[in-house]
Amino acid sequence: MNIYLDYQATTPADPAVVAAMEPFWTGKFGNPHSNHRYGWEAEAAVDVARTHISRLLNIQPESVVFTSGATEANNLALKGVMARAGRRRLVTVATEHSCVLESARYLETRGFDLTVLGVGPDGLIDFGALEAALGPDVALVSVMAVNNEIGVIQQIAEIAAARMGEDAAHAEALWDAFLAALHVPHAINGSTAHRWHGNINLRFEGLDGDRLIADLRRLSISSGAACASAKGRHSHVLEALGLSRKQAKASLRIGWGRFSTDEEVRAAAAMIGDAVLMQRRTAA
């Protein structure tokens, strides 16, 4: 059985999304800017989607801008706001996604002021430090609601938004099932109280996470954020938590989602446990 547990890198498409998009891959393929029936049909569909999103977010439809993905959206948001706000300082967090941090550092080279807040060993920001960083010169505060690498939910996100209902309950049930089936010593990176339970970042002291992944060929997990793993970089998120390079290298990121099952996470825990024991026996 092949098991996919790398939901923080990407997720399988929800069948409802596939069904909604299918007509536009075949018969309704027009360019929404074309001045003919196919274009008008596509334009109407985009307008309907924009209206649905605006109602969900309680904003005006013209405020909705579609992008190719999160990296483009974050770049557009940060650079767009800073260019037009009339204030010169951006505040963000050391554990933000790399596309946010890289955009922020680019803005710093363009003459803007940048404040990067640290986090505690649990991955949470200090509200006192955040409050101290705020001032009349701050144009934007960028804080990731749920960290994609360690699953920590910043408390500001809990205040600003409701939990995600059924998905949250399902994720918590799988979290409990996974940990119940994992019978080898481990540490959890990041807060266990303030977190999204669809993510768990585990540390197996003294082991090599990349080697563990190589031994787990039927299990799709990762050693960190996909963009950093692909480039062979160490985790800036785990470093911000105060972990050493060796500890970061001993860590695995595991993520489940809407389509993951109890059977899969229990089987994954057993596979990981066996791989950990094998590597420890080999090293002994």
- Strand pairing class (251-255; 3-4): unpaired
Q: Can 99 be counted among the known catalytic residues?
A: no
Asked if 92 and 104 touch (Cβ cutoff 8 Å), the reply is: yes
Smallest CA-to-CA distance from 9 within 199, 160, 164, 139 is with 199
Q: Identify the H or E element spanning 199.
A: strand 199-203
Determine whether 181 is exposed, middle or buried from the number of CB atoms within 10 Å of its CB (0-12, 13-18, 19+): middle
Catalytic residue, chosen from 46, 130, 226, 227, is: 227
| Cα(153)–Cα(71) distance, integer angstroms | 20
What would the two tokens of residue 283 be?
A: 């090293």
Dihedral (CA of 116, 120, 125, 128) sign = negative
Residues annotated as catalytic are 227
